[in-house]
Structures are given as structure tokens and as C-alpha cells.
Amino acid sequence: MLIYTDNAATTRVSKTALDAMLPYLTEQYGNPSSLYGFARKVSEDVEWARETVAGCLGANYAREILFTSCGSESDNQALNSCAQLGARQGKKHLISTKFEHHAVLHTLRKLEKEGFEVTLLDVHDDGVVRIEDLAAAIREDTCCVSVMFANNEIGTIQPIAEIGALCREKGVVFHTDAVQAAGHLPIDVEKMNIDMLSLSGHKFHAPKGVGALYVRKGIPLMSFIEGGAQERGKRAGTENVAGIMALAAALKESCDHMEADAVKVTAMRDRLIAGLTQIPHSRMNGNMEHHVPGTVNLCFEGVSGEELLLLLDREGICASSGSACASGSLDPSHVLLALGIPRELAYGSLRLSVGEYNTMDEVDHILAVVPKVVATLRAQSPIWKKLEAGERPHLC
């Protein structure tokens, strides 16, 4: 039995997405930039995809959507472009948060080395950024605010509409990494005053290797891949037509079924939380109110998250200790540390992210396996022995 509960890392390609892409891998192989009818049809289909994505995001114009190769590329282009254009106006200060994805954090670190100033806002222990903290951080020379829509490790949703309103009032460009939100949460770039938004197909059942960047009309965008005039000259390279068609079809399907899927997926998540927090000295990270439907993150004291994953893998359960991008490093998750969770506790983290393809039976299986595995690991743990002997205080 294989139970896949790592949907925040990537998702299975849906039948809808596969069906949408197949014609462009077989008969419809024309290059959208070519002028003959055979290829023009493909170009028109890409424009349908652009309109569809714009529609799902509440964007006014299809031309505000740029197709990229992934969420990371979208984040990189948004921040680099915003910074370079800000610098031209003497604005070299950017604001973001401590718990962003590394596609944002590493880009900001690079910009810092290039002479930009970056303020990273603290995240409160509920996994939510406070608007007052942002208001206090905005300066005359702030060119860009980037706050993720929903966090990829703990699933918490940020006050995006409030942040958008504040940035609009202050005349600062607002970018959001909505990779965990697109297809899972309602997004309206107009109502929420979002200026730039990143998303990635493989987080909502399109294939890997295709993403999009929304850029509000009137906001200049710099190109970082030079070459042909594709994507209005903002991103050279022959379009990944099959991927783009799949992304649009998958996003539309996710948005059409959003409410029903959210009810189903939230029920599974809540059952996981109710069951797993009964394990002694465990805690759920984040909060119960503002979260994406499927993601739950827990810490178990006296347990190594890495070892926990290995034992779960032996039981056929695919999970994560944080984000897939951070695994492989032995440092505890920067997200959990940003929440103020002590290092010792952050080492014992587990992220389960369920999706529409999971079932309650799988949830029940996880609820049967995890407590056993935690008990096994604790029985072998020197730290746990100290905790039980009262030589160290319990942290949760």
C-alpha cells in the first residue's frame, strides 16, 4: 500500500490536465510563433490558457499572465524585477517575511549582496504575519513587499487583502507567492490589491515544469531570459505549450471544484489533527482557523523528524518533515524556527499534506501507524529518556 500525503511538495497529474496536454505532444506540435495556420491554432490555444488563468485569479486582462517554467522562476523574476526598477527610482528597500519559500528568501539574500536592504518580518506563533508589523516596516524607499499567500510547511494563510490595501495606500508593489494557494483558496487579485502573484502547476495537478506570474497592467516587468519575443518580450523561449494547456485546465478544474474539495480535504486534515495531537507531548504548528485545507504540521518531542519519515516510508506513507526543498539538510525548518518553536522541538516535525485523491481510510491508517512509530523512536531516544526522567523540561 502506498499512501501519498505530500501534496504540498507536488501532486499527481489529473486526468483533465493530461487530456489537455496530450494533443500538443502529438498532433498539435506547431511553434506558437510561426505564422501558418497550423501553428496559429496553437497560439490561439495558448491565449485561451492565458484567459483561463486570468479568469481564475480575477485578473482584468489575459495579458497580465506570463507563463514561466515554475513557481521558483516566477518568484525570482517578480522580486528581481521589482528591485531593479525600484533602484532606478532610488528605492532599494524590500520587505518580506522570515518564513517564505527559499525561492523568495534566497533571491532576497542575493539582492542584499547587490546592495539592496531587506527587512524580514517576524511571524507570530500562530503562523500569521501581523499587518501592524508590516505597516511599521514600510519606508519611503520601500519598493516591494512580498508575503506568501499560504505557507508551504504549516499551511497558514496570511492577511493578503489587508496587506494589499496597505501596500496600495503606500504606493508599494505587492507580490505574493501563491504557489500553495492557487487552485486551493479563492484568489482575487483585484479585490485583494495584489500587484504580482506567483503560481506553479504541479501544486494543483498539472505537470512539473510550468508556472505563471501575474503582473498587474501598468507595473513594468524586466526580462531575465533574453532571446525571442515570446510572452510579450518578458520571457524568451518557445512556450511549453503542453504544460501551459495542462496548467490552465488543472487550475480551472481546481477552481470549479474548490468548495467541495475543501470540505472533503479539510475533514481529512481535521481528523489527522484530532488523532495525532492525542500523542503525548505533541503539538500542532500553525492555527486551526486560517489554513489551507490539506496541510497539517506537527512536532513530536524526543523524536527526529528524519527518522520518523524513514519509518513511515517503510509503512508506505509518503510525508515530509518540512518542505521538500529543505530536506536533505539537517537544520530544522526555518519556518518552524520563525514561529519561535525551539530547535529541539523543530527537529521532530512532520508535515502531512492531503489532497482530493486521499481517502478517510488512508487517514485512519496513518492514525494507526504514526503513534506506534513515535513510540518506537522515543523508546530509542536518549533525549526522551532525559525528558521522562525529569532531567529536562518538556517543551510541549
- Least distance to ligand PLP, CB of residue 70, Å: 3
- Residue 103 engages ligand PLP in binding (rule: CB under 6 A): yes
Return the closest-CA partner of residue 270 out of 288, 252, 255. 288
Q: Which of 53, 66, 67, 71 binds ligand PLP (CB under 6 A)?
A: 71
Query: C-alpha distances in angstroms, 126 versus 53, 96, 160?
Result: 31, 17, 16
The footprint of ligand PLP on this chain (CB under 6 A) covers a number of residues equal to 15
CB of 202 to ligand PLP, least distance (A): 6
CA 55 to CA 57: how far, in whole Å? 5
Q: Is 6 in the site for ligand PLP (CB under 6 A)?
A: no
Q: Which residue has the cell 507570530?
A: 124
Type of residue numbered 365: H
Please select the residue that binds ligand PLP; options are 5, 14, 72, 349, rule is CB under 6 A.
72
Residue pair 115/66 in contact by the 8 Å Cβ criterion = no
User: Does 247 contact ligand PLP by CB under 6 A?
Assistant: no
At closest approach, how far in Å is the CB of 100 from ligand PLP? 8
CB of 291 to ligand PLP, least distance (A): 14
The three cell numbers locating residue 182: 492557487
Q: Which is nearer to ligand PLP, 295 or 358 (CB)?
A: 295
Residue 211 in contact with ligand PLP, rule: CB under 6 A: yes
- E strand map for 147-261: 173-177, 196-200, 211-215
Contact status: 5 vs ligand PLP (CB under 6 A) = no
Measured from the CB of residue 245, what is the shortest distance to ligand PLP in angstroms?
17
Query: 175 vs 283, which CB is nearer to ligand PLP?
Result: 175
107 belongs to the binding site for ligand PLP (CB under 6 A):
no
- Span from 70-78, 133-141, 184-192, 261-269 in contact with ligand PLP (CB under 6 A): 70-78
Burial 201-220 (b: 16+ CB within 10 A, else e): bbbbbbbebbbbbbbbeebe
Name the minimum Å distance from CB 42 to ligand PLP: 23
- The DSSP symbol for 393 reads -
Residues 151-180 interacting with ligand PLP (rule: CB under 6 A) = 152, 177, 179-180
Draw the binding track, 338-377, toward ligand PLP (x: CB under 6 A; -: no contact).
----------------------------------------
**Interaction between residue 200 and ligand PLP (CB under 6 A):** yes
Q: Which is nearer to ligand PLP, 70 or 268 (CB)?
A: 70
Calpha distance 105→296 (Å, rounded) = 23
- Nearest distance, CB of residue 383 and ligand PLP, angstroms: 30
Q: What grid cell was written down for 126?
A: 500562530
Q: Which residue is nearest to ligand PLP (CB)?
A: 71
Q: Which of 50, 91, 93, 101 binds ligand PLP (CB under 6 A)?
A: 101
Q: What is the rounded CA–CA span in Å between residue 297 and residue 365? A: 18
Q: Does residue 293 touch ligand PLP according to CB under 6 A?
A: no
- Residue 385 beta carbon to ligand PLP: minimum distance, rounded to whole angstroms: 37
Q: Mind telling me the catalytic residues?
A: 325
- 148 belongs to the binding site for ligand PLP (CB under 6 A): yes
Instruction: Give the distance, in angstroms, between the CA of residue 190 and the centroid of all CA atoms in the same chain.
Output: 20
70 binds ligand PLP (CB under 6 A): yes
Helix runs in the chain, H state only: 15-25, 37-57, 71-88, 102-113, 131-137, 160-170, 241-256, 258-276, 305-314, 334-338, 343-346, 360-379, 382-388
CA–CA distance, 236 with 4 (Å, rounded to integer): 36
Other CB atoms within 10 Å distance of the CB of residue 112: 12
* Residue among 81 and 152 whose Cβ is closer to ligand PLP: 152
Residue 50 class from Cβ within 10 Å (0-12 exposed, 13-18 middle, 19+ buried)?
buried
Applying CB under 6 A, which residues contact ligand PLP? 70-72, 75, 101, 103, 148, 152, 177, 179-180, 200, 202-203, 211
